[in-house]
Amino acid sequence: MFSRYKKDAPAAPVHPALMTEPDDALRAQPDPKPEGNAATADAPKSKIQRRQAPKKAVVAAEPTAQDKETKRRARLDEIKTEMHSRLLDNLNLSALENAKEAELRAEINSITNDELADMGAVLNREDRTTLQTELFDEVTGLGPLEPLLKDDTVNDILINGPFNVFIERAGKLTKSEVRFKDERHLLRIIDKIVSAVGRRVDESNPYVDARLKDGSRFNAMVPPVGVDGSLVSIRKFKKDKLKIDDLVEFGAFNEEMAAYLQAAVATRLNVIVSGGTGSGKTTTLNALSSFIDNSERILTIEDTAELQLQQEHVGRMESRPPNVEGKGAVTQRDCLRNALRMRPDRIIVGETRGEEVIDMLQAMNTGHDGSMTTIHANSARDGVSRLENMIAMAGIEMPIKAVRSQISSAVNLIVQASRLQDGSRRMVSITEVTGMEGEVISMQEVFRYERLGLKPDGTIIGRFTATGVRSFYSERFRQWGYDLPSSIYEPAGD
Ligand X SMILES: Nc1ncnc2c1ncn2[C@@H]1O[C@H](COP(=O)(O)OP(=O)(O)OP(=O)(O)O)[C@@H](O)[C@H]1O
Contacts with Mg ion by CB under 5 A lie at: 281-282
In the complex with ligand X, the residue whose CB is nearer, 115 or 303, is 303
Binding-site partner at residue 233 among Mg ion, ligand X, none, CB < 5 to 8 Å by type: none
- Residue 160: which residues within 8 A CB-CB, separation 6 or more? 166, 228, 229, 231
In the complex with ligand X, the residue whose CB is nearer, 282 or 408, is 282
Query: Contacts from 38-45 at CB under 8 Å and sequence distance 24+?
Result: none
Q: Which residue is nearest to Mg ion (CB)?
A: 282
In the complex with ligand X, the residue whose CB is nearer, 252 or 314, is 252
Q: Is 428 in the site for ligand X (CB under 6 A)?
A: no
Q: Is 226 in the site for ligand X (CB under 6 A)?
A: no
Q: What is the DSSP string of 134-150?
A: HHHHHHHS-TTHHHHHH
Backbone angles phi, psi at 464, to 5 degrees: -90, 145
Left, alpha or beta for 171 (phi > 0: left; psi -120 to 50: alpha)?
left
Q: Is 277 in the site for ligand X (CB under 6 A)?
A: yes
> How many C-beta atoms surround the C-beta of residue 75 within 10 A?
20
Q: Is 247 in the site for ligand X (CB under 6 A)?
A: yes
Q: How big is the chain by its Cα radius of gyration, in Å?
A: 30
Binding-site partner at residue 304 among Mg ion, ligand X, none, CB < 5 to 8 Å by type: none
Relative orientation angle of helices 356-365 and 400-410, to the nearest 10 degrees: 60
Q: Is 383 in the site for ligand X (CB under 6 A)?
A: no
Q: Could you say which residues in the range 397-426 bind ligand X, by CB under 6 A?
A: 425
Do the Cβ atoms of 428 and 417 come closer than 8 Å?
yes
Q: Is 238 in the site for ligand X (CB under 6 A)?
A: yes
Q: How many whole angstroms separate alpha carbon 315 and alpha carbon 301? A: 9
* DSSP3 helix / strand / coil % (the chain, rounded to 5): 40, 20, 40
Least Å distance, CB 216 to ligand X, is 10
Least Å distance, CB 173 to ligand X, is 11
Least Å distance, CB 391 to ligand X, is 21
In the complex with ligand X, the residue whose CB is nearer, 267 or 418, is 418
Do the Cβ atoms of 290 and 348 come closer than 8 Å?
no
Which of 109, 110, 111, 116 lies closest to 75, judged by CA?
A: 116
Least Å distance, CB 336 to Mg ion, is 17
Q: How many whole angstroms separate alpha carbon 363 and alpha carbon 340? A: 7
Q: Could you say which residues in the range 463-492 bind ligand X, by CB under 6 A?
A: none
Select the residue interacting with ligand X from 179, 185, 235, 268 (CB under 6 A).
Answer: 235
Least Å distance, CB 282 to Mg ion, is 3
Q: How many whole angstroms separate alpha carbon 413 and alpha carbon 95? A: 56
Stretch near ligand X under the rule CB under 6 A, chosen from 29-37, 221-229, 242-250, 453-461: 242-250
Least Å distance, CB 253 to ligand X, is 8
Stretch near ligand X under the rule CB under 6 A, chosen from 132-140, 260-268, 274-282, 473-481: 274-282
Q: Which residue is nearest to ligand X (CB)?
A: 280
> How many C-beta atoms surround the C-beta of residue 451 within 10 A?
13
Binding-site partner at residue 247 among Mg ion, ligand X, none, CB < 5 to 8 Å by type: ligand X
In the complex with ligand X, the residue whose CB is nearer, 277 or 295, is 277
Q: How many whole angstroms separate alpha carbon 6 and alpha carbon 80? A: 19
Q: How many whole angstroms separate alpha carbon 408 and alpha carbon 451? A: 29
Q: Is 252 in the site for ligand X (CB under 6 A)?
A: yes
Instruction: Please tell me what DSSP assigns to residue 97.
Output: T
Q: Is 462 in the site for ligand X (CB under 6 A)?
A: no
Q: Is 353 in the site for ligand X (CB under 6 A)?
A: no
- 32 by DSSP, 3-state: which? coil
Q: Is 346 in the site for ligand X (CB under 6 A)?
A: no
In the complex with ligand X, the residue whose CB is nearer, 378 or 405, is 378
Q: What is the DSSP string of 44-78?
A: -S-HHHHHHS-GGG-GGGSPPHHHHHHHHHHHHHH
Task: Give alpha helix (H) positions in 120-254.
Answer: 125-140, 145-150, 183-196, 244-249
Least Å distance, CB 280 to ligand X, is 3
Binding-site partner at residue 229 among Mg ion, ligand X, none, CB < 5 to 8 Å by type: none
In the complex with ligand X, the residue whose CB is nearer, 46 or 277, is 277
Binding-site partner at residue 267 among Mg ion, ligand X, none, CB < 5 to 8 Å by type: none
Do the Cβ atoms of 324 and 205 come closer than 8 Å?
yes
Q: CA triplet 335, 361, 417: central angle to 5 degrees?
A: 95
Least Å distance, CB 423 to ligand X, is 9
Q: Is 90 in the site for ligand X (CB under 6 A)?
A: no
Element (H, E) at 157: strand 154-160
Q: Is 372 in the site for ligand X (CB under 6 A)?
A: no
Binding-site partner at residue 155 among ligand X, Mg ion, none, CB < 5 to 8 Å by type: ligand X
Least Å distance, CB 423 to Mg ion, is 17
Do the Cβ atoms of 168 and 214 come closer than 8 Å?
no
Select the residue interacting with ligand X from 179, 281, 386, 404 (CB under 6 A).
Answer: 281
Least Å distance, CB 351 to Mg ion, is 6
Q: How many whole angstroms separate alpha carbon 34 and alpha carbon 23? A: 18
- Where do contacts with ligand X occur on this chain (CB under 6 A)? 155, 171, 235, 238, 242, 247, 250, 252, 275, 277-283, 425
